[in-house]
Amino acid sequence: MAKICGKHFAHHAAINSPLNLTLAADLRDVLECIKEPTLLVSRGGKSRPLISEVIPALQTLRAALERAANSDEIADICRVAAYGGGLVLDKYLNLVPECEVYEFSIAAMRVIQEGRALGGTHSGFSSRACQPRRRFAAVADPTPRIPVQIPDDIDSYFDTPPLSSLDGKTVLQYWAAERVIQPSLAEMALTYCSAPATSVDGERSFSEGRNQCSWNQQSMSSQTFREQMSVGAWSEAPFFDLNVAEAIIDSHSRALRGSN
Question: Which pLDDT belongs to residue 258?
Answer: 53
Instruction: Name the more confident of 86 and 15.
Output: 86
For 228, the enclosing helix (H) or strand (E) is: helix 222-234
Confidence of residue 139 (pLDDT cuts 50, 70, 90): low
First to last CA, the chain: 47
Domain ranges of the chain: 2-93, 100-193, 200-252
Helix (H) or strand (E) holding 173: helix 171-177
Q: Residue 140 above 60 pLDDT?
A: no
Dist. CA 17–CA 30, nearest whole Å? 20
Q: d(Cα 69, Cα 48) in Å, to the nearest integer?
A: 31
- In sequence order, the 6+-apart residues with CB closer than 8 A to the CB of 109 are 52, 55, 115, 116, 118, 171, 193
User: Whole-model pTM?
Assistant: 0.50
Q: What is the pLDDT of residues 155-194, one digit of tens each?
A: 777 777 777 777 778 778 888 888 888 888 888 888 877 7
Q: Quick one: which of 104, 99, 103 has its CA closest to 189? A: 104
